[in-house]
């Protein structure tokens, strides 16, 4: 009889322990799902010469986020972000300069970062290099991202009105206003890879790369299109429509830090797991 009572007591104790663990684990799991941040998105900056302004869009949905004010620019064209996404480089077509601004506030860091350029339009960043398309000189130059000094002011020459620039791996993508195309070049040597990478655009200007997506400011069609950066094939040619004279583009992926609630929830689940393992070993 005593053995039977002891067995029943053990079974009841085990059942209560299992129930208690379930009651603790389920709310904790729900807390983890609830606490995971859902506001992760990619920001797409678009400059407009019609309003001398820079706008901010959601690069996933195409929805407008805000008007990102950068003052004191004359005909802003190309946009490019530094590797840490803190500095925004803007070509000042009317002022023959490339300026450096805060990507957070829009405040100038060095409005005359590079001067004396002939029709600066597209800009692109790769490592410590800043590429600048100079429409009036029909060239793409390479400059030091830290100092603004020229590395090769004539990296690519003889282009039909180069406007937008973007870097994808070792390739430099260039929009050609005269040819209504996007061309592909070797970013190190300037040699052509595919001069008809994307065709049939109307006044193509700015370019921006995010993952496998290539965004193209199709100014003549008042839109921003989305293309495959590897093949040049269209994904959504009217990703953002009805935009007045879109020219410069820059994109940055935003990954939010874990919230305190998510950290507490995950820590709680981990603690329960550790306690369970210790009890199992003792038993």
**Domain-wise residue ranges, the chain:** 41-254
Residue 33: the pLDDT is 38
Residue 72: the pLDDT is 66
Who wins on pLDDT, 27 or 55? 55
Which residues lie across from 192 on neighbouring strands? 185
Assign 141 a pLDDT band (cuts: 50, 70, 90). very high
Q: The tokens 């061309």 sit on which residue?
A: 183
Q: What is the mean pLDDT of residues 88-97?
A: 89
Instruction: Please give the angle made by the CA atoms of 161, 129 and 252, to the nearest 5 degrees.
Output: 85
Measured CA to CA, the distance from residue 103 to residue 20 in angstroms comes to 50
Residue 197: the pLDDT is 96
pTM: 0.72
Residue 184 has pLDDT above 80, yes or no: yes
Residue 261 has pLDDT above 70, yes or no: no
Q: What is the mean pLDDT of residues 1-21?
A: 50
Model confidence over 41-71: pLDDT tens digits? 578 888 877 767 777 788 888 887 766 667 6
Q: What is the mean pLDDT of residues 82-110?
A: 89
Instruction: Please give the angle made by the CA atoms of 71, 75 and 78, to the nearest 5 degrees.
Output: 95
Residue 229: the pLDDT is 96
Assign 161 a pLDDT band (cuts: 50, 70, 90). confident
Residue 188: the pLDDT is 94
Percentage of residues of the chain with pLDDT beyond 70: 71
Residue 142 has pLDDT above 90, yes or no: yes
Element (DSSP H or E) covering residue 192: strand 192-198
Residue 259 is given by DSSP the state P
With a CB cutoff of 8 Å and minimum separation 6, the contacts of 110 are: 99, 100, 148
Look up the CATH number of domain 41-254. Answer: 2.130.10.10
In the three-class reduction of DSSP (H, G, I as helix; E, B as strand; rest coil), residue 171 is classed as strand
């Amino acid at each position: 009889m005593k053995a039977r009572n002891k067995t029943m007591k053990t079974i009841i104790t085990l059942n209560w322990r299992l129930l208690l663990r379930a009651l603790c684990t389920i709310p904790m799991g729900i807390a983890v799902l609830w606490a995971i941040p859902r506001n992760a998105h990619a920001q797409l900056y678009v400059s407009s010469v019609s309003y001398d302004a820079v706008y901010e869009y959601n690069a996933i949905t195409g929805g407008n986020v805000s008007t990102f004010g950068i003052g004191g620019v004359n005909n802003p064209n190309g946009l490019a972000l530094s590797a840490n996404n803190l500095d925004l480089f803007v070509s000042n077509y009317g002022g023959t300069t490339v300026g450096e601004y805060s990507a957070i506030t829009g405040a100038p860091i060095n409005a005359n970062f590079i001067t004396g350029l002939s029709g600066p339009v597209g800009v692109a960043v790769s490592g410590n290099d800043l590429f600048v398309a100079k429409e009036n000189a029909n060239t793409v130059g390479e400059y030091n991202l830290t100092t603004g000094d020229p590395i090769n002011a004539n990296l690519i020459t003889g282009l039909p009105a180069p406007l937008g620039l973007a870097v994808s791996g070792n390739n430099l993508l260039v929009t050609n206003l005269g040819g209504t195309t996007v061309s592909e070049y070797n970013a190190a040597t300037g040699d052509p890879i595919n001069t008809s990478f994307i065709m049939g655009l109307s006044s193509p200007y700015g370019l921006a790369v995010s993952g496998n997506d290539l965004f193209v400011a199709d100014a003549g069609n008042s839109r921003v299109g989305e293309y495959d950066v590897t093949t040049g094939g269209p994904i959504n040619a009217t990703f953002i429509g009805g935009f007045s004279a879109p020219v410069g583009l820059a994109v940055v992926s935003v990954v939010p830090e874990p919230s305190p609630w998510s950290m507490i929830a995950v820590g709680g689940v981990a603690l329960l797991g550790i306690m369970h393992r210790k009890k199992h070993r003792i038993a």
